[in-house]
């Protein structure tokens, strides 16, 4: 089985492709099949999220391009930009991975969220499309203090004080 453990910035050629939906592109340890049919093991650094177009280098030097697979998603549009912002607010408040486009939002299919969005007056259409949600304000995904993580904690000096 081919081992893949290195993400690279550029390459002069691509030897194979790895087509995965978003939920599998978030896993750092994964058994996969490349477009050529080659079985491979992804052994990436913890916390790595693969994006369509990313390049990986296999242990034998082959370069593999990541392709975001079409998957069931919901396309959300609204009659005004303000209403679309309302939808984004309510989805963000629920920590939903969200792809933001020019005049639309995309999220993984979920009937409860679909009903909420319809209740807010949004137009919601199911489709098959690549899903590339926002990475998050700090360059990664959403994190909680209780997540099992080896990253160092960040301490902010001082405390917030209320005045008045």
Whole-number percent of the chain with pLDDT over 70: 83
Which residue segments constitute the domains of the chain, with CATH numbers given?
A: 2-68 (2.60.260.20), 70-130 (3.30.70.790)
Of residues 162 and 38, more confidently modeled: 38
Which pLDDT value is given to residue 20? 97
Instruction: Report the C-alpha gap between 31 and 116 in whole angstroms.
Output: 36
Q: Are 33 and 39 in contact (CB under 8 A)?
A: yes
Q: Is the pLDDT of residue 159 over 80?
A: no
What is the full DSSP assignment across the chain? Answer: -EEEEEEES--S---EEEEE-HHHHT-SEEEEE-TTS-EEEEEPPTT----TT-EEEETTS-EEEEEE-EEEEEEEE-SSHHHHHHHHHHHHHTT---EEETTEEEEE--HHHHHHHHHTT-EEEEEEEE------TTSS----TTS---SPP---SS------
Q: Which two tokens stand for residue 98?
A: 């969200």
Which pLDDT value is given to residue 137? 62
User: What is the rounded average pLDDT of the residues 96-116?
Assistant: 97
Average model confidence (pLDDT) across the chain: 87
Per-residue confidence at 139, pLDDT binned at 50, 70, 90?
low
- Rounded to the nearest 10°, the torsion over CA 23, 28, 32, 36 is 100
- Angstrom distances, CA of residue 126 to CA of 17, 41, 47, 71, 118: 27, 32, 29, 10, 13
Which pLDDT value is given to residue 63? 98
pTM recorded for the entire structure: 0.77
Q: Is the pLDDT of residue 150 over 50?
A: no
């Amino acid at each position: 089985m081919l081992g893949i453990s290195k993400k690279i910035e550029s390459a002069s050629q691509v030897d194979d492709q790895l087509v995965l939906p978003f939920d599998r592109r978030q896993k750092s340890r994964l058994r996969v099949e490349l477009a050529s049919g080659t079985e491979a093991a992804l052994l990436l650094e913890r916390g790595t999220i693969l994006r369509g177009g990313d390049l990986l280098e296999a242990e034998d030097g082959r370069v593999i391009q990541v392709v975001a697979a079409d998957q069931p998603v919901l396309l959300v549009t609204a009659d005004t930009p303000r209403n679309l912002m309302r939808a984004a607010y309510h989805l963000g408040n629920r920590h939903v991975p969200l792809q933001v486009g020019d005049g639309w939002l995309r999220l993984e299919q979920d009937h409860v969220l679909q009903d909420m969005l319809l209740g807010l007056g949004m137009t919601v259409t199911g489709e098959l499309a690549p899903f590339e949600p926002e990475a998050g304000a700090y360059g990664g995904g959403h994190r909680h203090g209780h997540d099992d993580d080896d990253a160092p904690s960040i301490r902010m000096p001082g405390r917030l004080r209320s005045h008045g």
